[in-house]
Chain A
Amino acid sequence: MDKERVGASFSCVWGVISLAVVFGIVCLLWYLLLHPDGVMKLYTPMYGFSLVAVLLCAVVLIAKLGECYPFGDSTPELSVRIGKGIILTIAAVLLTLIITYWLFWGFIGKFGVAYFSPQSIVASGGTGAEPFNARENASTAIVYFAAAFLWWALAWTSGFRQWPWSGSSRRLVAASRFFAVMFFTIVTYVILFHPHVCYLFYPPQNKAGVEPWWASFAGTGSAFFSLGIVLCSLAWITISEILWEGYPGRYVDRDARGTLSSGIVSIAASLILGLITFVVLLNVMTYFWMEPFEGGQYTDAPYFRYIHTAEISGFVILAAFILKTYFNNFPSKGALALRAVIRTALAFAGGAVLYLFYFSSASTLLLGKVPGMAQPDDTPLVWTMLFLSVVMIQADFFEGWPMATPHSEDKR
């Protein structure tokens, strides 16, 4: 479980300044990498989306699954802390490049599942198999895989924690958790996302994947349906872990080392709450935009409504991380239930502020997006994930530097 900075050493002023600086860094990165009129213009959109999603996976892999191995949890010396931050940041970036260009494009896509590699798609020939579509389609598959990975990585580390390897060496726990998470990631990807990717081609790859099984009741064959549920669930995993200090899983896991039952409780609770959130958000959207219909586009499209639940969840997840990292998970006093309620309300409010920012003319100015809702070539998830990556890099790799020195005191 994450350490919290406690007591008087945390400065709210530093938190606000840090947040402002991080926001600036995100805008700068956006301009360099993704801005439509920026330097690299990678927001095509799926290509840039996949790179950002893999970056976040790399950060989560190092920070959460690996607990920053081989570095310690806490490094009191400033120079060591900065060195750790720099090394792990470089590792995350290298990992992003290796996962994308070698693992997916050059290895799995080349020797196994062709759709993970633009080159393999182009080589297979046929309608639409040219470099632009091929890269977009391969990127779509990678984004979905990343979503499944993030779900399981965060679910495992907040529910099962170190179970069943508690007491083992950090290296063993990290490696074991990685393989366990990968197993569930692959199963989840195959069931929830692979059918969509198989139907990204003409003719559809129906011997490799079934027709999206949710199409008959979801009103769309798009896996945005699955993505919405996954992200809504992930939002509650984040809320539980960060804002509720591990509850309700901790009711059955008093020493916070993880048990089978705490994992099951945590995942089941987040799934149930995620599904409820998914349904509530869809109903709110129906109120504002009327009922979606099969074949509708923009706000009328069922697939847009589904991904929009994911986008809203993304804003809330980001807000929860901001509250924890820059505002010391305010409030830190009072009964846990009250703290949890206030923090959750603040995360929802923060999510709403981020939502309003993203769909305002300010983001048109800063991010270069066309004003308006439901642009098919735009999803706020990309910006949210980039922002989240930078926040996690500062919080976990740099241990919050240059904010107050963490006490590394595990409250649990």
Chain B
Amino acid sequence: MERRDFLKTMAAAGMAAGGTGMLPKRAEAAKVDFGQVKSVKVDVLSETSWFDNDIFKKNLMDYGGAMTNQYTIPWEWNNAGGYSALITVTGLDGKERKFLMDTGWNNEWMDYIFNEKSNVASMLKSGEIEFMLLSHWHLDHLWGIESTLKHKPDITIYAPKTHYPEDIALLREKAHHKAKTKDGQEVLVCKNDTPHTGKLIECTPDGEKGDGIYSPMPGVALRMFDVPILLRVRGENVLYFNVKDKGIVTVTGCCHPGILSLFSYARSNFEGYKPYGCYGGLHITLFENWEPKFDDIIKGVKSFKLQKVGCNHCTGWIWAEKAAEAGVPVVKGTNKYKEYKKYSTVAKASNVFLTNGDSVVF
């Protein structure tokens, strides 16, 4: 029996058995038209949130696992990197506009990325980068905030409203957060000496006008998915671009809500929905392990008919390789990452990741 037949049988049986057929029909939500862009380019500033997976997992294991408060774990500082991307949107008028997604973790690494491996520092100073989108409040996306704010303390930030006091203290109150090691020593886990003085737009699933999205520029939609996430974090902002003649492209930090759930949302809520591509961490085999549900995602991505899958970070090399083998159109990266002073221990010659220094255009 095929899955669809099985589900239909179950639905029919369920209605017969439970009377759920008596439930009222759900009202269809009005679809949103947020405009179009000519193209969108993503420059991978840093996708290496940590360099050695085993060290990261050991820190996690030693201090309580995936549900633990991230601020209570004395993470191995030298293993920390960060996640950040520069996004360039070309409007239908041909004009380019830029913004930053996330600001990494380790300040030294992010300073290196922003000053030496890209022009982000100068673009922040000049205002060429218009705003920063914080995808979510995880350490590897937020804790390097000083590296951004030292160049532009009044930058406008879009962030999920679901933050904790420690997050706001780091962002705006010059916090120096410390965690205790097992032998009772306090170690600095993150700091920010340049408080944010600009506008903080706290995003909720309701959106700016009650239509579920924020639209910082035509053709670009930002949606906050209020989902529980590991390390006590909650909620993620994701980006949708409606690229003319191509379709919907998602750009994510970690994509905790699930890549197909993002496209499912777009299918249900966006006018003229046509799937096209995605970029970002896809939060699948981030620990380079495997589970049957990861096979489900490969099958699902194929059925959603994405044409361009750019992935890295928490996607997991294993998943990207298996997906590419299975026929998912994974965008290949280059070996530029080897020119950086550090790179991930799980990076492979298959280049199925868009790694540090790579870019992709949709």
Contacts and interface: CB of A to CB of B under 8 A. Distances in A.
B69 interface: yes
Interface stretch (B17-25, B146-154, B273-281): B17-25
Interface stretch (B1-9, B127-135, B170-178, B213-221): B1-9
Contacts of B259: 295, 297
Contact of A300 (B15, B69, B234, B261): B261
A222 B293 contact: yes
Q: For chain B, what secondary structure do more than half of its interface residues adopt (helix, strand, loop), or is it mixed?
A: helix
Given A219-B296, A372-B227, A297 B61 contact: no
Contacts of A369: 67, 228
A394 B94 CA distance: 73
A284 B20 contact: yes
A294 B3 contact: yes
A271 B296 CA distance: 27
A128 B65 contact: no
Contacts of A132: 57-58, 60-61, 65, 287
A280 B15 CA distance: 7
Given A216-B2, A293-B300, A298 B227 contact: yes
Contacts of A295: 258-260, 296-301, 303-304
Contact of A133 (B6, B256, B287): B287
Interface in B253-305: 256-261, 264, 268, 285, 287-293, 295-301, 303-304
Interface residues on A, range: 35 or more
A132 B261 CA distance: 28
Nearest to A302: B296
Interface string B1-39: 111011100110111011010010010000000000000
A36 B296 contact: no
Nearest to A198: B292
Contacts of B14: 279-280, 282-283
A9 interface: no
Q: For chain A, what secondary structure do more than half of its interface residues adopt (helix, strand, loop), or is it mixed?
A: loop
A128 B290 contact: yes
B67 A130 contact: no
Nearest to A304: B293
Contacts of A137: 289
Contacts of A375: 227-230
A322 B261 CA distance: 38
A133 B289 contact: yes
Contacts of B268: 290
A36 B228 CA distance: 14
B290 A41 contact: no
A40 to B, nearest CB: 8
Nearest to A197: B292
A294 B54 contact: no
Contacts of A131: 57-58, 61
Interface in A243-276: 276
Interface of A: 36-37, 41-45, 47, 127-128, 130-133, 135-137, 196, 199-202, 204, 212, 215-223, 276, 279-280, 282-284, 286-287, 290-291, 293-298, 300-303, 368-378
21 contacts: A36-B64, A36-B67, A128-B285, A128-B289, A132-B287, A135-B61, A199-B295, A212-B292, A216-B3, A219-B7, A279-B13, A283-B14, A294-B303, A295-B260, A297-B256, A302-B296, A368-B232, A372-B227, A373-B228, A375-B229, A377-B66
Given A36-B68, A217-B3, A297-B260, 13 more contacts: A36-B64, A128-B288, A202-B290, A216-B3, A276-B13, A279-B14, A279-B17, A280-B20, A284-B20, A293-B260, A293-B300, A295-B297, A370-B232
